[in-house]
Chain A
Amino acid sequence: MSILIDKDTKVIVQGFTGGEGTFHAEQCMDYGTNIVGGVTPGKGGQTHLGKPVFNTVKEAIDATGATVSMVFVPPAFVGDAVMEAASAGIELAVIITEGAPVRDMQAAKACAVKNGMMTIGPNCPGIITADECKIGIMPGNIFKKGNVGLISKSGTLTYEGANQVVNEGYGITTAVGIGGDPIIGLSYKQLLQMFEDDPETEAIVMIGEIGGDLEIQAAAYIKENIKKPVVAFIAGQTAPAGKRMGHAGAIISGSAGTAKEKMDALEAAGVKVVVSPAEIGKAVKEVLS
């Protein structure tokens, strides 16, 4: 078991024939992802990486039965691409693109919600179900199969966390990078519940950062709904207020969005909070033994 995706998931790639799309689609196929085709407007009818290219998402779904789209469309056009996926009937769009205008993502997210499409990202490493399906840009080899679910705003901290979990002798069911932009798709709450419902997942690692209040909402949700042990790290305890720390959403505004208030809320909800990402592996071992 796993959440959201497995070896049978049929995936199309939007922005299939571009540089990034090509490179990562190939890596995903090597990992075992069932990529059934891609979309590049104007290149319909061609074959790319041995798979059919379509002009529109609708045509791609009709021909392949795809339910998930991996989106590599450049930032200026990504809002449009996500709305196209939503109205064509895609069930989950994984948006890798970095630097999407917030206004566009606001509209795209609203359109996705209206059409019942889940989204992940933008500006995220994607999602991986260990040994089955990778939809994103993470190095697949570090994600050994196991019983820990992982949710993270940061790409490299996802790798860091997964690697430590594996080094402690455990492994990953599914890891989801939700992205660090101001407006994102699936967030901690929904994903925590999916891991709670997944029989194979025994513990959950959640990695957050400064800015916004998603982690505070997650803490409240954990307290009421999550029985499985949760380990958390919040990046940015040493970040100065008012400065944007790399991610568009990683900014402390006034006294809101600090690492401390998030860590306190999570701790109060019974979460095992670590002060350094170097402690994630040990903390997982502790909650599982």
Chain B
Amino acid sequence: MNIHEYQAKQIFQKYGVPTPKGIIANTPDQAAANAAELGGDIWVVKAQIHAGGRGLGGGVKLAKSIDEVRELATEILGMTLVTHQTGPEGKLVQKVYIEEGADIVDELYLSVVLDRAAEMPIIMASTEGGMDIETVAEKTPEKIIKVAVDPAYGFQPYHGRELVFGLGITDKAQQKKLINFAKKLYTLYMDNDAEMIEINPLIKTADGDFLALDGKMGFDDSALGRHPEIEDMRDISEEDPDEREASQYGLSYIALDGEIGCMVNGAGLAMGTMDTINYMGGTPANFLDVGGTANAETVAKGFEIILKNPNVKAIFVNIFGGIVRCDRIANGILEATKLVDVNVPVIVRLDGTNAPEAAEILKNANIANVITATDLGDGAAKAVAAAKSA
């Protein structure tokens, strides 16, 4: 689960990680009032969406008067912001964060993520703040400093020294401030079961202070149960409504832009099915894992969600029954065709436990639109052919 910048900064502040002062607003008037409350003579109006690249997309703007804050907030609120991370459809801006202006001398990069190879969190830092870190990693990998922290022993002073000397910071007072900053960030990463924290840029001000000018946080979905206060930060308007509806039925669904709907048990086989369709010259319309406990209701829901997509010209049901019995899935398909108007060809491949019984059930039911397949390759070929002739 991801959260907004203003929410990440609330967590930062709780842990004493310095940020500029800011207040969230839902309306232009509120934005103006927030600016007045913050004081000063320069403010930043920042669109709150779950995607990077907001500045380039026109979602972050500088204001030099309260009236300008109101004008910019009017402009940004309700706009559909398109960045390199939102996809061409963009994201609707519903909140703006009003932040005091900062006197920037230098821009750095700091993040904490899980290093899967080292099996521990790593802190990454770079002098190339404000740039896309993946570009830095590709072009100048030597400018990224990586420090792995073993949670069994926690953040040690040497971790801090590796960071500040790596960044070329020589001033003692500044070294101390940045080490403290990184240590707090590591602590809040661990405490909150974060999956990643990224501060880009982390700025150095004219006074020699370090501030998190931006803040991005993602959390381990499996650990949200023990962090109700984080779960409360969920913004469902940022999630795909179909993916969300699917998840409520225990289905894992992701829309793609092809023509063949897929309904599969198991994430690996679901991806393998998409790959096979592609290999046979077709295009998958979605990823859908019905999970290990598929029944008539979930299968029906799966059909319903797949068919919402107008591009779907055929559906490939690919089940390898393990503990899930194929005859139950076959009955589920029969039920589903009664509950949902399935108006495209459905290619069904059921293999594994009780597959012969399942084949018998489908044969006897003799439903229009249902085509049976003997194996994965056969099913994918039939689905591609059906989509092409539709």
Q: Which residues of A contact B (CB under 8 A)?
A: 27, 75-76, 99-104, 106-107, 109-110, 125, 137-139, 141-142, 152-157, 159-160, 163, 180, 182-183, 207, 209-210, 212-214, 217, 233, 235-240, 242-243, 245-250, 254-255, 259, 275-279
Contact B376–A106 (Cβ < 8 Å)? no
Chain B residues with CB under 8 Å of chain A are: 85, 114, 116-117, 119-120, 134, 137-138, 150-152, 190, 193, 195, 220-223, 225-226, 252, 254, 256, 264-272, 274-280, 284, 287, 289, 320-323, 351-353, 375-377, 380
Chain B's nearest CB lies how many Å from the CB of A82?
A: 14
Q: B119 to A246, Cβ gap below 8 A?
A: no
Determine the residue in chain B with the shortest Cβ distance to A242. B85
Do residues B268 and A101 form an inter-chain contact, with CB atoms below 8 A? no
C-alpha spacing A238/B320, complex, angstroms: 20
Chain B positions within 8 Å of A276 at CB level: 272, 275-276, 279-280, 376-377, 380
Chain B residue with Cβ nearest A207: B268
In the complex the two chains form, is B320's CB within 8 Å of A159's CB? Answer: yes
**In the complex, what's the smallest C-beta–C-beta distance from B316 to chain A, in angstroms?**
12
Does A163 contact B222, Cβ atoms closer than 8 Å?
Answer: no
* With contact pairs A102-B222, A163-B352, A278-B375 given, residues A156 and B269 touching in the complex (Cβ less than 8 Å): yes
A155 vs B322: C-alpha distance in the bound complex, in angstroms? 9
- Cα distance, A238 to B114, chains bound together (Å): 25
Distance (Å) between the CB of A207 and the closest chain B CB? 7
Give A103 to B152 CA distance when docked, in angstroms: 11
What is the chain B residue whose CB lies nearest that of A255?
B134
In the complex, the answer to whether B222 meets A248 with C-beta atoms within 8 Å is yes
Q: Are B266 and A155 in touch, CB under 8 angstroms?
A: yes
Q: Which 10 A-B pairs have the closest CB atoms?
A: A154-B268, A246-B267, A156-B266, A278-B377, A101-B223, A156-B269, A235-B271, A157-B268, A277-B272, A254-B134
In the complex, chain A residues whose CB is within 8 Å of the CB of B351? 160, 163
| Bound Cα distance A102, B115 (Å) | 12
Q: Which residues of B contact A254 (CB under 8 A)?
A: 134, 137
Q: Are A139 and B270 in contact (CB under 8 A)?
A: no
Bound Cα distance from A139 to B214, whole angstroms = 50
Given A101-B223, A183-B116, A276-B377, 17 other A-B residues pairs in contact with their CB atoms under 8 A: A101-B222, A103-B220, A106-B114, A110-B119, A125-B322, A139-B323, A141-B353, A154-B267, A163-B351, A209-B267, A212-B116, A237-B274, A238-B284, A250-B267, A255-B134, A276-B272, A278-B377
| A126 CB to nearest B CB, Å | 11
Q: Within the complex, what minimum Cβ distance (angstroms) separates B176 from chain A? A: 28
A250: contacting residue among B134, B271, B278, CB under 8 A: B271
Minimum distance in angstroms from A240 CB to a CB of chain B: 7
Most buried by B among A214, A243, A278: A278
Residues of B within 8 A of A243 (CB): 254, 287
* Residues of chain B with a CB closer than 8 A to A182's CB: 114, 116
With A75-B222, A100-B222, A246-B289 as known contacts, state yes or no: A236 contacts B271, CB within 8 Å: yes
Q: Is the CB of A142 within 8 A of B352?
A: yes
- The answer to whether B352 and A159 touch across the interface, beta carbons within 8 angstroms, is yes
Bound Cα distance from A259 to B268, whole angstroms: 12
Please give, as numbers and ranges, the residues of chain B lying within 8 Å of A183 by CB-CB distance.
Answer: 114, 116, 119
Q: Do residues A237 and B268 form an inter-chain contact, with CB atoms below 8 A?
A: no
B residues less than 8 Å from A248 (CB atoms): 221-222
**B265:A156 contact, CB within 8 angstroms:** yes
Does the CB pair A102–B220 fall under 8 Å? yes
For residue B270, which residues in chain A have a CB less than 8 angstroms away from its CB?
245-246
Q: In the complex, A134→B205 CA distance in Å?
A: 62
Which of B280, B289, B322 has the most chain A CB within a 10 Å cutoff?
A: B322
A160, B320: Cβ atoms closer than 8 Å = yes
Q: Could you name 15 residue pairs across A and B whose Cβ atoms are closer than 8 Å? A: A103-B220, A107-B151, A154-B269, A160-B272, A163-B351, A180-B267, A183-B116, A207-B268, A209-B271, A235-B269, A236-B274, A245-B287, A259-B275, A276-B272, A277-B272
Q: Which of B151, B375, B377 contacts A106 (CB 8 A)?
A: B151
Chain A residue at smallest Cβ distance from B267: A246
With the chains together, A249 CA to B117 CA distance in Å? Answer: 12
Cβ-defined contact, A210 with B222, below 8 A: no
Contact partner of A213 (CB less than 8 A), chosen from B116, B134, B287, B353, is B116
Query: A103, A250, A277: which contacts B269 (Cβ < 8 A)?
Result: A277
Bound state CA distance, A212 and B85, in angstroms?
A: 21
Residue of B nearest to A281 (CB): B375
CB of A238 within 8 A of CB of B274, answer: yes
Bound form: Cα–Cα A33–B271 in Å: 32
* B247–chain A nearest beta-carbon distance, Å: 11
- Select the residue from B119, B265, B353 with max chain A CB neighbours within 10 A: B119
Contacts of B264 in A (CB 8 A): 156
How many whole Å from B192's CB to the nearest CB in chain A?
Answer: 10
Q: Which of A103, A110, A180, A242 contacts B268 (CB 8 A)?
A: A180
Nearest-neighbour CB distance to chain A for B174, whole angstroms, equals: 30
| Contact between B152 and A107, CB atoms less than 8 A apart | yes
Bound CA–CA A207/B272 (angstroms):
10
CB-based nearest A residue for B269: A156
A138 in complex: contacting residue of B279, B322, B375, CB < 8 Å: B322
The smallest beta-carbon distance between A239 and chain B, in angstroms, is: 6
